[in-house]
Amino acid sequence: MQTAEHAFRRWMQSLIILFIVLLGYIVIADRYAPLTTESRVQGYVIQIASEVSGNVIGVQVENNQQVSKGDSLFTIDKRKYQLAVNKANVALEQAHEQESALYAKVEAGDANVATTQAAFDNASSEYQRIRQLAGKKLVSASLLDSSLANNNVSLSNLHAAQQERRALRVQLGTSPGQSSMVRAANNSLEQAELNLSHTQIMAPSDGVITNLQLEVGSTASTNQPLMTFIPTGSLWIAADFREKAVALLDEGTAALVAFDAFPGEVYSLKIQSRDFGVAAAQQSPNGQLTNIETNNRWVRDAQRVRVNLVSNIALPKQLFIGSRATVVLYPRDNWLWALLGQAQIKTVSFLHYIY
């Protein structure tokens, strides 16, 4: 009886010691080799939209198809945009004709300036002669006044002709084809050609089209998303740790990842960055008083912060945005925590065979 009781006490003592050791390890490891199962594969998701509106007359890709940069994705009816280009070409021709007419007017203006200049020179000479004669009392004052008036009128005509010619030259610009009407017509043509090119929507880079819902006959509106595109090589891991777990995070911290999709396998990743905020603390100036959050729990939930991890090599193609993962961090320069961290993640990785 005493032997059984003694054995029971020994077992209880061993269990208590084991519990204390495990509890101590969990508390300390959460600082030096933190592990989280709140990790997912993230990636850039691009919403493909058309920059012009119209009916979709062709879809050149299938769901989950790999595409290369510049591959055609879908086509919008281009007839009205082709008509707009033709109209802009006609307007450009008319603008060139108007510019030619302006050049002719400038030549006529040059001739007019020369004529008014000659008239002014003649009137000025006549006035100077009459003024000299008037000084000698050889002509009447009325003749002098008439000569002065003719001189002033001819000068005004000269200024008017020069201003008219200057206005024409301003419209023509610095060289042929630089008049305001030609440049405006060129801009309209370029815009029409740009709109026409936008009827063919291309892949912005290498990637995959997923969750395809677009079909021929659909109506495309300007800037309305019609396809979902994921660029190749844009995947990374977003791991959410308790904030105390990343307090010691630095450039010497290593990261190991076990994906749910690959039981028994562990991947080495590199820490790219840590987020500097969470949505729960985001504020906006709304003109209202402070909203105080209340928590009736004895132990409040720990705040988590996101750590972003990237791989130096391409991640397995079987992964997708949203794939689950487990991540452990540990200091490279500490062999003990490195060993314990690797043991943790390998254990979890093998457990993925079960769950």
| Integer Cα distance of 325 and 319 in angstroms | 10
Question: Which of 19-28, 99-108, 276-285, 313-322 is predicted least confidently?
Answer: 99-108
| Integer Cα distance of 311 and 235 in angstroms | 9
Q: Which residues of 283-305 are buried (b: 16+ CB within 10 A; e: fewer)?
A: eeeeeeeeeeeeeeeeeeeeebb
CB atoms within 10 A of CB 93: 11
Classified by CATH at the fold level, domain 50-79+198-226 comes out as OB fold (Dihydrolipoamide Acetyltransferase, E2P) (2.40.50)
pTM for this structure? 0.72
Q: How many residues does the chain have?
A: 355
CB atoms within 10 A of CB 189: 20
Mean pLDDT value of segment 174-194: 83
| Integer Cα distance of 122 and 150 in angstroms | 10
| Integer Cα distance of 198 and 74 in angstroms | 10
Mean pLDDT value of segment 217-230: 93
Question: Which is higher by pLDDT, 322 or 7?
Answer: 322
- pLDDT score at 252: 80
| Integer Cα distance of 301 and 298 in angstroms | 10
The residues spanned by each domain of the chain are 50-79+198-226, 80-195
- pLDDT score at 175: 66
What count of Cα atoms within 13 Å lies in the side-chain half-sphere of residue 23? 6
Name the H helices within the chain.
2-32, 79-135, 141-172, 180-197, 335-351
| Integer Cα distance of 178 and 235 in angstroms | 50
Element (H, E) at 233: none
pLDDT in tens, 154-170: 778 778 777 777 776 76
Mean pLDDT value of segment 163-190: 76
Question: Taking Cα atoms as reference points, which of 239, 279, 263 lies closest to residue 352?
Answer: 263
Question: Which of 76-80, 112-116, 179-183 is predicted least confidently?
Answer: 112-116
DSSP, collapsed to helix, strand or coil, labels residue 15 as helix
